[in-house]
Amino acid sequence: MDMLNWEQRNLLSELIHGLKAAKQLQAELGAAPSPPPPSVSSSSSSWLTTEMKETLLHQIVSSYERAILMVKRSTTLDSPTTETVNLAVVPVANTGKVPESPTSINGSLGSEEFLDGRSKDYNLSSKKRKTLPKWTEQVKISPERGLEGPHDDVFSWRKYGQKDILGAKYPRSYYRCTFRNTQNCWATKQVQRSDGDPTIFEVTYKGTHTCAQLIQPPRKRETKPNPTAVNYQNDLLVNLRTNLTVRTNGIESDGFSFPVTPPFYSYESINGDFGNGGGTFCHVGNSGPSDFTGLISTNTSTGSSPIFDVDFQFDPTHGIDTGFHTFLHDSI
DNA sequence: ATAATTTGACCCCC
DNA sequence: GGGGGTCAAATTAT
Closest nt to residue A150, judged CA to C1'? B5
Domain at A134-206: CATH code? 2.20.25.80
Other CB atoms within 10 A of residue A175 CB: 22
Distance A139 CA to B7 C1' (A): 26
Distance A78 CA to C10 C1' (A): 41
How far is it, in rounded angstroms, from Cα A304 to Cα A143?
48
| Secondary structure (3-state) at A167 | coil
Region of residue A91 (phi > 0: left; psi between -120 and 50: alpha; otherwise: beta): beta
Closest nt to residue A190, judged CA to C1'? C5
**Domain range annotation of chain A:** 134-206
Distances, alpha carbon A118 to alpha carbons A94, A123, A315, in Å: 10, 9, 25
Q: Indicate whether this model's pTM tops 0.75.
A: no
How far is it, in rounded angstroms, from Cα A71 to Cα A214?
13
**Which positions on chain B have an atom < 7 Å from some protein CB?**
4-9
Closest nt to residue A174, judged CA to C1'? C5
Distance A153 CA to B3 C1' (A): 19
Question: Which residues are in reach of strand C, CB within 7 A?
Answer: A 160-167, 172, 174, 176, 188, 190
Closest alpha carbon to C1' of C8, residue: A160
Q: φ and ψ at A53, to 5 degrees?
A: -65, -45
pLDDT in tens, chain A (332 residues): 567 777 778 888 888 888 888 888 888 776 545 444 444 444 455 567 777 787 888 888 888 888 888 887 776 554 333 223 343 455 544 433 333 333 323 322 222 233 323 333 333 333 444 567 888 888 877 655 445 555 667 889 999 999 999 999 999 999 999 999 999 899 999 999 999 988 889 999 999 888 888 776 544 434 334 444 444 344 444 444 433 333 334 333 333 333 322 223 333 332 233 333 334 443 443 343 344 444 444 443 443 333 344 444 433 333 333 333 323 332 21
